[in-house]
Amino acid sequence: MKRSMLLSVCLVCLVCLLPLSSVAAGLNDVIATLETPFSSETDGNGAIRDFTADFFQESRLVSLDRMQRGQGEVKVRFEKSFGDRVPIVKFRWEYEQPTNQEIVSDGETMWVYLPENNQVIQTNIEETGMTRAEDPMTFLTGLGNLSRDFTIRWAVPDHDAEGNPVLQLRPRRVSSLIREMQIVVDRSAVRDFQDGQGGRRLPMLSTHVTDPQGNTTIIEFSDAEVNTGVSDFDFRFIMPAGVDVVRPTGREMGF
């Protein structure tokens, strides 16, 4: 009898320790947790204006049956734009493994620096279509309007092993870049949103993108910090001396 009562008490304690707010959160709350900090209508402490994080990336090319992994640091800054244009997003992805490389954008131009090849790929973001609001490639720029650009439902399973909600997103318009995407949302960010304290942390723990060819890219974020005042200097690219500069058009890049 005592052993049975002890077991019952343990089970009750275990249930109490579960992340109740994330389990109880409805789909709309989880979507709002992602969208609200990046919405143009959100000001003050509820808005995420910039973030830095470590990342791990795993990409699989089905045609070559090849897996590639990388990791490094990312810095992102969001700047509101006028009219119906999507926000200007500046970013710097610095890969430390498997080889050093950089992907930098000042919101107008993107540079991909491949030291191993002594090459810089330079593209105009407008020409490649990456600022079109209807293109799901802009999900990072359009985080404030995810439900406008994607149909969103629970993934299967709808929570990961730690109890974080998982969403499945599919573009409302045909895209050559994304067939579907899954986003794991930080359960603590959901709890913050429900408590009226959204924007305190990066809501995305990971993204899993599948393109129309079946290639997949998983990016996991860790040690993220928001609104630290990332400098504009971080998004300037200084062209290394002696590199070959390649300037492909949007058509060549498949946009």
3-state secondary structure of 222: strand
Q: Where are the domains of the chain?
A: 20-246
Distance (Å, rounded) from C-alpha 205 to C-alpha 203?
Answer: 7
Distance (Å, rounded) from C-alpha 251 to C-alpha 216?
Answer: 22
Residues of the chain with pLDDT > 90, as a percent, come to 63
Rg of the Cα trace of the chain? 20
Distance (Å, rounded) from C-alpha 142 to C-alpha 127?
Answer: 18
Which conformational region is residue 100 in: left (phi greater than 0), alpha (psi within -120 to 50 degrees), or beta?
beta
6: exposed, middle or buried (Cβ count in 10 Å: 0-12, 13-18, 19+) = exposed
pLDDT band at 85 (very low <50, low <70, confident <90, very high): low
| Phi then psi dihedrals of residue 113, to 5 deg | -105, 120
Residues of the chain with pLDDT > 70, as a percent, come to 80
pTM of the model as a whole: 0.82
Q: What is the pLDDT of residues 132-163, one digit of tens each?
A: 433 444 567 678 889 988 999 999 999 999 99
Distance (Å, rounded) from C-alpha 74 to C-alpha 89?
Answer: 13
Name the fold adopted by 20-246: outer membrane lipoprotein receptor (LolB), chain A (2.50.20)
Do 205 and 186 touch, CB atoms closer than 8 A?
Answer: yes
Rounded mean pLDDT of the chain? 83
Do 142 and 127 touch, CB atoms closer than 8 A?
Answer: no
3-state SS of 80-136? Answer: CCCCCCCCEEEEEEEEEECCCEEEEECCCEEEEEEHHHCEEEEEEHHHHCCCCCCCH
The pLDDT assigned to 10 comes to 36
Buried b (16+ CB within 10 A) or exposed e, 47-69: bbbbbbbebebeebeeeeeeeee
pLDDT band at 21 (very low <50, low <70, confident <90, very high): very low
